[in-house]
Amino acid sequence: MQTEFNVLFIGDVVGRYGRRILRSEIDNIKREYEIDFTVVNIENAAEGFGINKKVYAELEPCADAFTLGNHTWDKQELINEIQAMDKVIRPVNFAKRAPGVGFRLFSVNGIEVAVINAIGRIFMLPVDNPFYEVEDLLESGLLDKAAVKIVDFHAEATSEKQAFGWYFDGKVSAVLGTHTHVQTADNRILPEGTAYITDAGMTGCHDGVLGFNKDEALSRFLTYIPKRLKVCKKNLKINGCVVKIDSKSGRALYINRIDRACDI
């Protein structure tokens, strides 16, 4: 039975151009790295803010699981639509009464995989403690049959992300950071076998501010007058990482970054 299991993780997809490059390139990346399972963070996929039914339908064939973040509810219609999206996972430490689920289990060629989404609390809106929520989930027994466990930790502060990685070292296969939209060069395997990266980066326009037109973003910082941000189109890149995992032990073997320029 297969023991090496290759996971592709893609950082925040921003707007229509992010979606377009993802759709055009994803099969090539999967083939190149012999990917068994794909997770994509899509919290910014609809015009840069949240997701809806239409955007999900467009991206659904690209991945096995989709994660979210602080922009989860930017499109209000998602409150009613999320129940029907059977690959979507929103942060597990959102309010208990919020719709959607914080983890999912998948079965791939006899290998059980758990995907968890959690969100940080430093410089973010108040939520339940992500450390305890994920720990309680791991101890609940609900994920016991899955040796492979992937966590998307969506957080602002590097310190909180690093601390989260250390806390779950040896308890999950990978702690992969999202939210800052800037890929960090600290991908590594922690001592107990957990793959870690502070931030996987962003899929979309890299000649703006977090995927948005720089002029509008700049004007906000210069005047503090709210202005609607629009996604930009230049220097398009897919950011993410590939994690090789031993599917028996759940330990990660390596983690490589992906930073791929794309034309559309």
Residues of this chain that bind Fe ion (CB under 5 A): 12, 43-44, 69-70, 179
E-state strands within 57-213 = 65-67, 88-89, 103-108, 111-119, 148-154, 174-178, 188-189, 195-197, 204-205
Containing H/E element for 236?
A: strand 236-246
Residue 202 CA to residue 207 CA, distance in Å, equals: 12
Residue 197 CA to residue 177 CA, distance in Å, equals: 6
Smallest separation (angstroms) from Fe ion to the CB of 24: 21
Smallest separation (angstroms) from Fe ion to the CB of 141: 30
Question: For residues 10 and 115, which CB has a smaller minimum distance to Fe ion in the complex?
Answer: 10
Catalytic residue list contains 154: no
Residue 29 CA to residue 22 CA, distance in Å, equals: 10
Smallest separation (angstroms) from Fe ion to the CB of 44: 5
Nearest to 41 by CA among 8, 75, 11: 11
Residue 5 CA to residue 169 CA, distance in Å, equals: 19
Smallest separation (angstroms) from Fe ion to the CB of 213: 16
Smallest separation (angstroms) from Fe ion to the CB of 73: 12
Question: For residues 179 and 244, which CB has a smaller minimum distance to Fe ion in the complex?
Answer: 179
Q: Where are the alpha helices (H) located in 47-99, listed in sequence order?
A: 53-59, 78-81
Question: For residues 69 and 250, which CB has a smaller minimum distance to Fe ion in the complex?
Answer: 69
Question: For residues 123 and 224, which CB has a smaller minimum distance to Fe ion in the complex?
Answer: 123
Question: For residues 5 and 164, which CB has a smaller minimum distance to Fe ion in the complex?
Answer: 164
E-state strands within 2-156 = 4-10, 37-41, 65-67, 88-89, 103-108, 111-119, 148-154
Catalytic residue among 71, 179, 181, 206: 71
Catalytic residues: 71
